Amino acid sequence: MASVEQPEKIPETRITISDGALIPDKGEGSLLSAWRISFFGALGLLVLLPVLSPQPYREIIRYLPDGILRTFQVTLISIFFALVIGLFTGLGRISRNIFINRLATVYVEVIRGIPLLVQLFYIYFALGRFLSLDRMVAAILAMSICYGAYMGEIFRAGIQSVPKGQMEAALAIGMSRRQALQLVILPQTMRIILPPIGNEFIALLKDSSLVSIVAVSDLLRRGREYAATTFLYFEAYTMVALIYLVFTLFFSKLVAIMEDRLHNHGR
């Protein structure tokens, strides 16, 4: 009988898409790289527009600093609590305790299935009937809960990507499971998950613009206030967009540098 040729197996390909800015490739050293064109182009416009056209761009620049400060305040506090929530959620997702595992999984599925804007409205307006939350507290709470679910999946994937032999070796030398996780697994996990955490930070920085909906005076809110009083919508939103772009590109580069240093340190 003639042999039947087996169809050639197509190698599995995974496509990763993130809401954050692209982390620059360390091999992308060209003077005209996409990151340099984008970053220095946006930075140049931020400098040139107020010089070439002081009215209204210089006035807009003077109007926005407190909004920038509030944006970073919301972002940094939210990312801190999101990391704490994400760590415990990730540990819960790999827990052998069925109750803890299901609780963490339900949290991830529910939160990831509801848009951040809806969560923000729900916490500030719907729960406002029962809890009198300050708008800033409500904004940070919504951002932390939402991004905590995504961080939980990042921690889970990072922990599970560490070879199982690491845990077995730690247990073999007398460590408890908790000690092995704390001293052996998590330090390796942090190097693995730095790029996705960096992307989530950048995505959170951009999504912080949603808190303007509940009247938190962030960067976007200040831009809207200026535009509403002067009717210079194009100019105001151009400056707001450029500032967001400069920040996201700057932090994407910073994450790339940190990733490279951790990679070299781990050799």
d(CA 70, CA 143): 14
- Contacts of residue 43, Cβ cutoff 8 Å, sequence gap at least 6: 246
**Residue 41 has what pLDDT?**
94
Query: Three-state SS string across 72-113, please?
Result: HHHHHHHHHHHHHHHHHHHHHHCCCCHHHHHHHHHHHHHHHC
Dmax (CA) of the chain = 86
- pLDDT of 13: 40
CA-to-CA distance for 8 and 127, rounded, in angstroms?
56
Q: What is the pLDDT of residues 36-46, one digit of tens each?
A: 899 999 999 99
Q: Which domains does the chain have, with CATH numbers?
A: 34-265 (1.10.3720.10)
Task: Inform me whether the pLDDT recorded for 4 exceeds 60.
Answer: no
SS3 content of the chain, % helix, strand, coil (to 5): 75, 0, 25
150-195: per-residue pLDDT in tens? 999 999 998 888 888 878 888 888 888 888 887 888 888 888 888 8
pLDDT at 182 (0 to 100): 79
> Over the chain, what is the mean pLDDT?
85
Contact of 187 with 266, CB cutoff 8 Å: no
In the DSSP assignment, the letter for residue 19 is: S
Question: pLDDT value at position 236?
Answer: 94
Q: Which of 36, 4, 3 is nearest to 253 (CA)?
A: 36
Nearest to 144 by CA among 116, 109, 167: 116
How far is it, in rounded angstroms, from Cα 82 to Cα 204? Answer: 10
d(Cα 231, Cα 198) in Å, to the nearest integer? 36
